[in-house]
Amino acid sequence: MTADRWTQAVKRQLGLGRLLPLGSPHDGAWIAEAAAEAVLRRATEDMRGVRLDALRIALIDPDGADEAAVPPPPSALPPGRLLVTADFAATATDPLPTTAERLRELLTAAATERLGLTVTEVDLRVTALLDEDAEPAPVRQPEPAQAAEPQNPDEERIAAAALAVPGVTRLTGALGGLGRAVHIEERQDETALPRLHARVEIAVSADHRAVEVAREVRKRAGNALPDHPTVAVLITAVG
C-alpha cells in the first residue's frame, strides 16, 4: 500500500468515530458512530425551527459495561447503556422545553427503533435562538471504502452469506486500513480450544432495522464454514 493510500485509509477509519455496541451483549454487533449520527440527524430534518448542531454518542458508565459474547472489533466500545449528547438552536415559536422534548423523543426513537442502540439518556443543550425557521444542516453520509475482493475461499463463503441477507446493501472495508470486509483469525482463551473468529463489515439499508440485519448476518456467516466461527458484525453505513 502506498503512503497516499495508507493516509486515506487512516482518514476513513478515523471518520468512523466510536464503534458503538448495537443491541445486547449477545448480539455481537457494533455500528460506527458516524453512521448512527447520520440516521439520528435525518430523523430530525423535518423539525421546523430547529437546527441540530454537535452530536455525540457514548457509554453512560464505561466501568459498568458488559462483556460482549464475541471478540469485539479493535477499539470498539463494550456493550452498555448509551447517552446521546447534542447541541441545538431553535426559534422561540414554541417554548424551548417543548422543543427540546420533541427533539429528545425523535432522537431516542431513531436510535432505539431504527438502529437498535441501547440509548437510555439524551442530554440536550440550547446554544442559540434563531430569528426564523432554520434550514436543516446537510446530513453527511459516511462513505466507507468499498471492500476488496476476498482473499481466500473461507472469506468468499462468509462474504456471500452476508450479502445474501436482506438489508445488506454492500460489504465495506473501512477498519484496519486493508480494505477487507471479512477478517478471519484463530483465537484461544485459557479454557477453550482454538476457534475461528470472523469480523464482517457491512452497509445496511435504511429500510431495515440495523440490529436485526446484523443478527441475521452473524447467523448466516457463522453457518457458512464447517467450523462455525464466532462472528462480530460492524455496520459502517446506513442508507
Q: Is the pTM of this model over 0.75?
A: yes
Q: What is the dihedral of CA 217, 215, 182, 190, to 10 degrees?
A: -130
Instruction: Report the DSSP beta bridge partners of residue 121.
Output: 83
pLDDT tens, residue by residue, 188-221: 766 567 789 999 999 999 999 999 999 999 999 9
pLDDT of residue 131: 84
pLDDT of residue 4: 52
pLDDT of residue 135: 66
Cα–Cα distance measured from residue 65 to residue 39, given in angstroms and rounded to the nearest whole number: 24
Q: In terms of Cα–Cα distance, which of 80, 78, 79, 86 is closest to 102?
A: 86
For the chain, list the domains and their CATH numbers.
33-130 (3.30.70.1350), 143-238 (3.30.70.1350)
- Which residues does the chain have with pLDDT short of 50? 1, 5-7, 10
pLDDT of residue 137: 65
